[in-house]
Amino acid sequence: MEMNVIKCPNCGASSTNHTNCEYCGSLLVRFVDKGIDLSTTSYLTNDKVYAGLIDALKQNLDRQELSDSAVETGIFYKSSPTVKLSRKRHGVATVFRSGSTTWSDGDPIKLGDKNRGLVIKFSFDKHAEDNDVSDERIERLHQEFRALGSFPLFTPHTGIYMRPGSSSRFRSQEYAIDFGQDVEGAARLISEVLSKVYGIPEDAQLVYLGEKEQMVEEKKIEEEIIEEEEVLEYSFWQKIGTGVTIAILLLFLYGTIRNGGVVSSLLIVCVLAVAINTVYKRKTFGGFLFLFMLMLVFAGGIVLTCSTVAVQDERTEQWLKELKQKEKQNPSQKDEENEKKQILESAYNSGSRDAWGASSTIEGLIRQGYTKRDINGMQTNQGRLNYKDKYGEPKTSEEEQLMEQYAEKYAEGFMKTMFKN
């Protein structure tokens, strides 16, 4: 039976190979075979391809030429350019050698009869028995992947497996594709998944590591973890000294409470916690000396604080009296305070409303490695912009202060609504 001839969208030749063009090797013939209209996609150009990805895939094929063993290229996204890769990296995908990788349940991925080519798989794993809050997010990613124009080209696989160190069973929904040796076509499809499914910015600087480089980086991470978690075993006299120091601080705490120094008492508790944490994180005797010196410094400060508690209370009482007099003399001040309170309540409510429509965006940021602190900072900045749009640029220091309070309230409303729900 004569095989249908397909016109290759890449080189224009008439190809009988419906997997990779027999003339230029392009996998775009698969789109024609599946009846996918390429004119509505970005698969014909490299405009949307992440920087460095094509070169990394070429290097993968070059390494395959030199060795018959497994060859991998890990694709990592580093959310902050100011930190070391091993301290803050996120593995987003791995490109394997054709015929050298398996599905999550251990079954081999067999997509062709060649051992030189590029294979990638994407997994969407959910708990097999018990539902977990993360399952909903995984399913949303799964549906976004299924909506891609390239989705019909992937080979699906479903399996059950257990992750190392976990007692839970997972049901994996996996999809793999063998790109052959079409580096550019592979880069275009991989870029589409990373951008549209995992939300990585198209101008992001990705990091590409070969199998040997990944082993080196993993070793670095293990060494850093061991170094951070290492705790010094103190000698008998060091333990005695630490206990005496803590006892002295507790005596000062008791004395300040009896003399009415509530603020000073809270300060001592905080300093005590920080000091103990510091000494147990240090790896030399200097940690113990640091704690002792810290105790002496704050002992002097506590004595001074206790001697001025009565004066502070007197000043506080006087300040309250003056404040009441000012309120009587200037009744409009209360109106201004009410107006300010309404503005800040409006900011909080606005942030809460905006959070309801931003869940997918925030999830994308979290996948990229952003922390709650990072997101809070973004929303604070958005609060400033909202204030300027609504009330104009602040012209006085009081307006500047109100703008900052407005921004904080907006961020507070956004964060509480977003992460509570």
Cα gap 290→298, rounded to integer Å? 12
Helix (H, G, I), strand (E, B) or coil at 293: helix
Please name the residues in contact with 127: beta carbons below 8 A apart, sequence gap of 6 or more: 135, 168, 169, 170, 171
**Which tokens go with 210?**
């070969």
Amino acid (1-letter code) at residue 171 = R
Q: Are the C-beta atoms of 34 and 177 separated by less than 8 Å?
A: no
* CB burial readout 404-413, b (16+ within 10 A) else e: ebbbbbbbbb
Q: How far is CA 395 from the centre of its chain?
A: 37
Which tokens belong to 27?
């996998």
Give the C-alpha separation, 300 to 242, whole Å.
Answer: 19
What gap in Å lies between CA 260 and CA 210, rounded to an integer?
Answer: 64
Strand arrangement, sheet containing 90-97: 155-162, 169-180, 118-127, 90-97, 72-77, 206-210
Is residue 21 within 8 A of residue 9, CB to CB? The reply is no
Cα(93)–Cα(75) distance, integer angstroms: 5
- The helix/strand/coil state of 7 is strand
pTM of the model as a whole: 0.51
Inter-residue contact 86 to 217 (CB < 8 Å)? yes
Asked if 280 and 232 touch (Cβ cutoff 8 Å), the reply is: yes
Predicted local confidence at residue 86, as pLDDT? 46
How far is residue 207's CA from residue 149's CA, in Å, rounded to a whole number?
Answer: 26
Q: Which runs of E-coded beta strand occur in 17-107?
A: 72-77, 90-97
Using DSSP's 3-state secondary structure scheme, residue 115 falls into coil
Contacts for 279 with CB less than 8 Å, ≥ 6 apart? 242, 287, 288, 290, 291
CA dist 146 and 208 (Å) reads 26
Identify which of 95, 49, 100, 61 has the alpha carbon closest to the alpha carbon of residue 76: 95
Residues near 407 by beta carbon (within 8 Å), at least 6 away in sequence: 347, 380, 381, 382, 383, 384, 387
Picking from 206, 191, 59, the residue whose alpha carbon sits closest to that of residue 118 is 59
**Whole-number Å distance between alpha carbons of 256 and 264:** 7
Q: Is 128 strand, coil or helix?
A: coil
Look at residue 307 in the predicted model and tell me its pLDDT. 54
| In contact, 327 and 337? CB cutoff 8 Å | no
Residue 155's φ and ψ, nearest 5 degrees, are -95, 120
Going residue by residue through the chain (421 aa), what tens digit of pLDDT does each one get?
A: 346 888 888 888 888 888 888 888 888 888 888 888 887 677 888 899 999 999 999 999 999 998 888 888 989 887 665 545 444 567 788 899 988 889 988 899 888 777 889 999 999 999 888 778 888 999 999 999 999 988 998 999 999 988 777 778 899 899 999 888 999 999 999 999 999 998 889 888 888 888 777 666 655 555 554 444 444 455 555 566 666 666 766 666 666 666 555 555 566 666 666 555 555 554 444 455 555 555 655 555 555 555 555 555 566 677 677 776 665 655 566 677 888 888 888 888 888 888 887 888 888 888 888 888 888 998 899 888 888 888 888 888 888 898 999 889 888 988 988 887 5
The domains of the chain are located at 1-35, 42-204, 212-278, 358-419
Q: How many CA atoms lie within 13 A of 193 on its CB side?
A: 24
